[in-house]
Amino acid sequence: MSQGTAPGRATLQSVARAARVSRQTVSNALNAPHVVSPETLQRVLAAVDELGYRPSRAARQLRTRRSHTLAMRLDPFRDGVNGSVLDRFLHALVEGAQGAGYRVLLFTAEDDAGELERYAELLEASDVDGFVLTGTHAGDPRSGWLAERGVPHSAFGRPWDDPAAPLPDAERGAGCWVDVDGAVGTRAAVGHLVASGHRRIAFVGWPAGSGSGDLRRSGWREACAERGLELPDHYDVAVPDGVDAGRASASALLTSALPPTAIVCASDSLALGVLAVAAEAEGAGGLGEGTPATAVVGFDDTPAAAAVGLTSVAQPLAEAARTCLDQLLAQLDEGASPCPPRLLPPELVVRRSTRGARP
Amino acid sequence: MSQGTAPGRATLQSVARAARVSRQTVSNALNAPHVVSPETLQRVLAAVDELGYRPSRAARQLRTRRSHTLAMRLDPFRDGVNGSVLDRFLHALVEGAQGAGYRVLLFTAEDDAGELERYAELLEASDVDGFVLTGTHAGDPRSGWLAERGVPHSAFGRPWDDPAAPLPDAERGAGCWVDVDGAVGTRAAVGHLVASGHRRIAFVGWPAGSGSGDLRRSGWREACAERGLELPDHYDVAVPDGVDAGRASASALLTSALPPTAIVCASDSLALGVLAVAAEAEGAGGLGEGTPATAVVGFDDTPAAAAVGLTSVAQPLAEAARTCLDQLLAQLDEGASPCPPRLLPPELVVRRSTRGARP
């Protein structure tokens, strides 16, 4: 995780290292000294002196004047089918925040750098108590920037820099986060399809490199491998997201020498395209009672999936929002212990697109 | 519009009446006296004295300390298909606000009374400059409450108390609002269908009493009547919103003695149900290339409509958000003239569900 600071400048991290304590303990020593043991306090303050560390004015203000406001970036409306996931998260977050006496402030930013500028502005004005991050990605500087300044925050989305260590020690300063385990979702999809008699199950996902997409693919692959299912190369399709890409992928799969009887997708957009082709192939109404013989599973349980009867993996968005909020409130409560990151399991919502398909 | 005040208490309205000026002029006299002529200023201040009018502390604070924050109520996620309209409005609002140096603060409320409590809390804390209202309805006390206190606000949705006067004089104190003319949308749908050769066009909408639903119905009815189309009673269907209600309505219509060849719906939810039944009736793929012979038009151009190829009426949500914002900024600019309400025309987005249908 990038710290975004010039070498040599004292940071919360360097103080923590020098005093051989966690960042949280340094933060506690500076902001709530009564919760720190006298020995530790002395060691931290000595390191602060030695290194010349000066916590930012903004972070200090944050501790003394509560605005009862959490801030979150909201991007322009882009992806019709999948964008609704973050909208549903936002609704749950605002509702949960209200219950805890907090409001949610929205802003926009072009990119990470723009978002950090907004953070700085909002902290300068001292009108937020903490931040909710979404859209985490490899090389993401945001959590580090906030941790550096002792600013409470929680991310919906894990830090992707080290996906091999999905549940790091909170003390490492990665900040708090909650994420949904996509691999559990595609595993559940394979389990459901196998239980319905399917043995030839393909996957239509995104090109390697997107953390969440890779996890969704790995869940499908591992679940198939464990059951000894055949996995010819052409069953692993990597395309950009979208209904059209789903159509094209399904056409190729269903006209191949060994067509699958079921297709698991990394998104509902892809699945809607796959479902349309499957329905045409059968001459059955994709929207109607007739079930296409090729079973199709989407991901994210969007309103479009519900409307057309598409089986899909549902993220527990309300629980994710509540967990982010709990993590933030724990940080705002000076004496609270560091909050562990959490991975939530998604749930398969079974609908017409996989019900009664005969492989 | 209810003023929500006890009789006898001096209000902005009563001062305006006594001084024979607009509310805006009273507000200007109190907050930006340099923009008011000396004669008018004297008359207003005399009325303020005489009636003992005391502008609220919150409203005063609002004038002296800008937070560059606008507030809006966000409801819990409810309606999968249609809820996305307000989400898209919110995205556009946040983006436009950021461009003008403002952020958007979200809160929730159980009902109008709860929303007024939130307004009072936020004004007391002096951390908002104005409010954006959504979900306006007959008997809505919110705009009056805010106008009363001289608080800048704008509504996405007209005041429904007097739908016969859709464009009131802004000076009447109804506050600023922008709305989309639903009747224009269903008129466009009928025009498109008639141009495609349809003469038997039914409407599936909500029970009378919802302002926006009544307008959508009136646009269909008037456009059909003007063209001399037959309108048997059973072509005017009133049901609660939802995919299932759409299915049931379409089943009844298509098995009636005089089935329509096209069905215009008050929402995409209803239209998705209608489309499913139309597709089944034809044995064609509703999601596929085959076009059901019964043409179907939805309303709101939701992501689900785009995904399944449903022709739908699109509200200009980005323009609506920009207009709300302009109206708010004009109110925050003391010297600005009152902003007129605006009705925006929606646009028909033509897709597979009405393309090539042969009546």
Residue pLDDT, tens place only, A141-159: 999 899 888 899 999 998 8
The pLDDT-based confidence of B79 (bands split at 50, 70, 90) is low
Predicted local distance difference test score (pLDDT) of residue B108? 92
Please give the residue of chain B at the shortest CA–CA distance from A101: B107
Predicted complex ipTM? 0.74
Predicted local distance difference test score (pLDDT) of residue B55? 62
User: Is the confidence at residue B95, as pLDDT, over 50?
Assistant: yes
Kindly report which listed range (A218-227, A287-296, B198-207) carries the lowest average pLDDT score: A287-296
Residues of B in contact with A74 (CB under 8 A): 90-91, 94
Contact A286 B284 (CB under 8 A): no
Predicted local distance difference test score (pLDDT) of residue A79? 60
The pLDDT-based confidence of B175 (bands split at 50, 70, 90) is low
**pLDDT tens digits for range A296-337:** 999 999 888 888 889 999 999 999 999 999 999 988 886 666
User: Is the confidence at residue A285, as pLDDT, over 60?
Assistant: no
Contact A91 B74 (CB under 8 A): yes
Cβ-based neighbours of A160, under 8 Å, separated by 6 or more: A136, A137, A138, A140, A211
Which of B287, B308, B349 best probes binding to A when mutated, by most A CB atoms within 10 angstroms?
Answer: B287
Which position has the higher pLDDT, A3 or B329? B329
The pLDDT-based confidence of B234 (bands split at 50, 70, 90) is very high
Two tokens, residue B21:
């000026």
Which of B81, B103, B325 best probes binding to A when mutated, by most A CB atoms within 10 angstroms?
Answer: B103
Predicted local distance difference test score (pLDDT) of residue A61? 41
User: Is the confidence at residue A7, as pLDDT, over 60?
Assistant: no
Residues of A in contact with B67 (CB under 8 A): 127
User: Is the confidence at residue B257, as pLDDT, over 80?
Assistant: yes
Predicted local distance difference test score (pLDDT) of residue B339? 74
Tell me the CA end-to-end span of chain A in Å, nearest whole number: 47
Phi-psi region of B153 (alpha: psi -120 to 50; beta: other; left: phi over 0): beta
Contact A83 B290 (CB under 8 A): no
Residues of A in contact with B77 (CB under 8 A): 87-88, 91-92
The pLDDT-based confidence of A258 (bands split at 50, 70, 90) is very high
Predicted local distance difference test score (pLDDT) of residue B292? 54
Residues of A in contact with B275 (CB under 8 A): 287
Closest by CA to B288, choosing from B268, B262, B263, B308, is B308
Contact B308 A287 (CB under 8 A): yes
Question: Looking at CA atoms only, how far is residue A110 from chain B in angstroms?
Answer: 10
Predicted local distance difference test score (pLDDT) of residue B149? 86
Long-range contacts of A168-171 (CB under 8 A, 24+ apart): A168/A341, A170/A24, A170/A338, A170/A339, A170/A340, A170/A341, A171/A22, A171/A23, A171/A24, A171/A338
Residues of A in contact with B290 (CB under 8 A): 280
The pLDDT-based confidence of A9 (bands split at 50, 70, 90) is low
User: Is the confidence at residue A121, as pLDDT, over 50?
Assistant: yes
Predicted local distance difference test score (pLDDT) of residue A37? 77
Contact B307 A87 (CB under 8 A): no
Residues of A in contact with B351 (CB under 8 A): none
Which of A103, A251, A267 best probes binding to B when mutated, by most B CB atoms within 10 angstroms?
Answer: A103
User: Is the confidence at residue B250, as pLDDT, over 70?
Assistant: yes
Please give the residue of chain B at the shortest CA–CA distance from A75: B91
Predicted local distance difference test score (pLDDT) of residue A8? 55
Residues of B in contact with A73 (CB under 8 A): none
Predicted local distance difference test score (pLDDT) of residue B35? 65
User: Is the confidence at residue A47, as pLDDT, over 80?
Assistant: yes
Contact A308 B308 (CB under 8 A): yes
Closest by CA to A274, choosing from A297, A246, A301, is A246
The pLDDT-based confidence of A107 (bands split at 50, 70, 90) is very high
Out of A71-80, A181-190, A240-249, B241-250, give the one with best mean pLDDT: A181-190
Q: How far is CA A98 from each of CA A31, A104, A122, B211, rounded to the nearest angstrom?
A: 26, 8, 20, 30
**pLDDT tens digits for range B263-302:** 999 999 999 999 988 887 765 444 444 445 799 999 999 8
What is the pLDDT of chain A when averaged over all its residues? 84
Contact B276 A283 (CB under 8 A): no
Give alpha helix (H) positions in B227-316: 243-254, 268-282, 303-308
Which position has the higher pLDDT, B122 or A202? A202
Please give the residue of chain B at the shortest CA–CA distance from A284: B285
Of B69, B81, B279, the CB nearest to A307: B81
Predicted local distance difference test score (pLDDT) of residue B340? 83
Which of B77, B93, B102, B269 best probes binding to A when mutated, by most A CB atoms within 10 angstroms?
Answer: B77
Average pLDDT of span A135-146: 89
User: Is the confidence at residue B2, as pLDDT, over 70?
Assistant: no
Average pLDDT of span A177-200: 96
User: Is the confidence at residue A184, as pLDDT, over 60?
Assistant: yes
Question: Looking at CA atoms only, how far is residue B281 from chain A in angstroms?
Answer: 9
The pLDDT-based confidence of A340 (bands split at 50, 70, 90) is confident
Cβ–Cβ under 8 Å, residues B175 and B334: no
Which stretches of chain A are assigned E, i.e. beta strand?
69-73, 103-107, 130-134, 153-156, 176-180, 201-205, 236-238, 262-265, 295-299, 311-314, 342-344, 347-349
Contact A288 B276 (CB under 8 A): yes
Phi-psi region of A135 (alpha: psi -120 to 50; beta: other; left: phi over 0): left
| C-alpha span between A53 and A223 (Å, rounded) | 50
The pLDDT-based confidence of B61 (bands split at 50, 70, 90) is very low
Predicted local distance difference test score (pLDDT) of residue B241? 92
Predicted local distance difference test score (pLDDT) of residue A40? 82
User: Is the confidence at residue B62, as pLDDT, over 80?
Assistant: no
Beta bridge partners of A205: A238
What percentage of chain A reaches a pLDDT higher than 70?
Answer: 81
User: Is the confidence at residue B165, as pLDDT, over 60?
Assistant: no
Contact A94 B87 (CB under 8 A): no
3 state SS of B334? coil
Residues of B in contact with A308 (CB under 8 A): 272, 287, 304, 307-308
Which of A89, A270, A287 best probes binding to B when mutated, by most B CB atoms within 10 angstroms?
Answer: A287
**pLDDT tens digits for range B112-164:** 999 999 999 888 876 789 999 998 888 889 998 998 888 899 999 988 776 55
Please give the residue of chain B at the shortest CA–CA distance from A306: B80
Contact A98 B81 (CB under 8 A): no
Contact A81 B303 (CB under 8 A): yes
Average pLDDT of span A205-224: 94
The pLDDT-based confidence of B206 (bands split at 50, 70, 90) is very high
Predicted local distance difference test score (pLDDT) of residue B182? 95
Predicted local distance difference test score (pLDDT) of residue B290? 47
Residues of A in contact with B69 (CB under 8 A): 105, 127
The domains of chain B, with CATH numbers, are: 1-55 (1.10.260.40), 67-180+318-345 (3.40.50.2300), 182-314+348-354 (3.40.50.2300)
The pLDDT-based confidence of B5 (bands split at 50, 70, 90) is very low
Predicted local distance difference test score (pLDDT) of residue A172? 42
Which position has the higher pLDDT, A163 or A199? A199
Contact B287 A275 (CB under 8 A): yes
Contact B307 A304 (CB under 8 A): yes
Residues of A in contact with B241 (CB under 8 A): none
User: Is the confidence at residue B41, as pLDDT, over 90?
Assistant: no
Kindly report which listed range (A55-64, A215-224, A289-298, B42-51) carries the lowest average pLDDT score: A55-64
Beta bridge partners of B133: B155
| C-alpha span between B257 and B253 (Å, rounded) | 9
The pLDDT-based confidence of A2 (bands split at 50, 70, 90) is very low
Predicted local distance difference test score (pLDDT) of residue A75? 84
What is the pLDDT of chain B when averaged over all its residues? 84
Which position has the higher pLDDT, B98 or B356? B98
Please give the residue of chain A at the shortest CA–CA distance from B272: A307
Predicted local distance difference test score (pLDDT) of residue B126? 66
